[in-house]
Amino acid sequence: MIKVLFVCLGNICRSPLAEIVFNNLIQQASLSTHIQCDSAGTASYHIGSLPDRRIRQIGQEKGLVLTHRSRKLAGDDFYNFDYIVAMDEANFEDIRNQSYRSSGFYFPEDRLFLYREFDSEVQASDPREHFSVPDPYYEDIVFFEEVYRIVERCGTRFLEFIIEKNNLKR
């Protein structure tokens, strides 16, 4: 079983949306017996909370029900997950630093990603800030819709990457 963890700051907007969208893509590809995913936050602001109501609304409009309860990234996650995917640069660095504090080693670079590294609309030559999934928390519902489009694009390409890297058959 290949395990993927999506991580943002509070685990109530971007990462639970990335989780549910990716789970949906896994099911559509008939790979549920091969790939599993979860989400977490680098901060403990919302532990136990449902995703933000606006992200749940966007999910519902797309036929997805977000029931994940927010949790904080834990030391065991570095052993239990094959891939960890950060929503932005700050969380990427927090994940790296926490992996070292938790285990004495940095989580392997070939298994830790910024999600937008898989965005077909972002080029390798783009400025580093283009590699962040924007945090819509303080924004209008329109920004939540944009985050949905981003995580869907990234999820499609990330799933292709996992299939190829792990020689999975659909």
Catalytic residue annotation: 8, 14, 135
Contact 68, 50 (CB under 8 A): yes
Please tell me the distance from the alpha carbon of residue 65 to that of residue 56, in angstroms, as a whole number: 7
Residue whose token pair is 């700050």: 90
Please tell me the distance from the alpha carbon of residue 116 to that of residue 120, in angstroms, as a whole number: 8
Please tell me the distance from the alpha carbon of residue 14 to that of residue 18, in angstroms, as a whole number: 6
